[in-house]
Amino acid sequence: MNFFETIFLNLGFSWTAAKLIPYLMMAILGFTLVYFLHRKIQHRVKKWLSMTLLCLVPFGTYFAVYPIYQGDFVNIHFQPKQLDKFPSKLTLNIVVLPSCPYCHETIELMNHLKESYPKLRIRYVVVAKSKQTMQAFRSKLHPKIDVQLSNKPTDWIIMAQGGFPCMILSKDKNIIYAWENGHFGVRAIDDILNRLN
């Protein structure tokens, strides 16, 4: 999440809109530049080349700095087999491995979600046998995010379908559905927050 997206989130826009609006604004800026400057260039070839560049530069620059990833605007989830107990309240369960770098990258997003939506229950399930492995997550996570050691590591690996981190949404002690890391984008977050309200 970048500065521009944060502004739109703070203004009350959905996560999807906050991700999309900066791109639209850059495209509009490009067209505005073309509109105001197209009469100043007289040579026909230079005019079309300049207009094309002026139109694409704002969007292209923003895209180069903040690219759109495959999972940003999709909500592709799966239904894992339930092999362990889940909380009765709506909970986002983040299934992680201690040494997985992508698992540690979820910390910033989950902290932001917890700070922005205190009613959202978030639980990290560390798939390991040693309690010491939980400390790396517990020390960086918001104090109200629960961190637990998996009591059946093999079952959690099966539920995550071998992909980590895996986000599993549960309610009434049952799995609603789950996302692989690459498919957990802004539309998935909007889906979870709509269920929260």
Single-letter residue type at 111: N
Residues 6+ away with beta carbon under 8 Å from 187: 15, 16, 73, 74, 75
Element (H, E) at 192: helix 186-196
* Residue 73, domain member (yes or no): no
Q: Say which CATH number the domain at 98 has.
A: 3.40.30.10
The answer to whether the beta carbons of residues 160 and 166 sit under 8 Å apart is: yes
Domain span at residue 8? 3-65
What's the domain count of the chain? 2
Task: Please give the average pLDDT of every successive group of 10 residues along the chain, which has 197 residues.
Answer: 91 95 94 80 73 87 91 89 94 96 96 96 95 93 96 94 96 96 93 91
* Residue 111, domain member (yes or no): yes
Radius of gyration in angstroms for the set of CA atoms belonging to the chain, rounded to a whole number: 21
Reported pTM: 0.85
Residues 121 and 178 in one domain: yes
Tokens for 174? 């049952």
Nearest one of 2, 28, 60 to 186, comparing CA atoms: 2
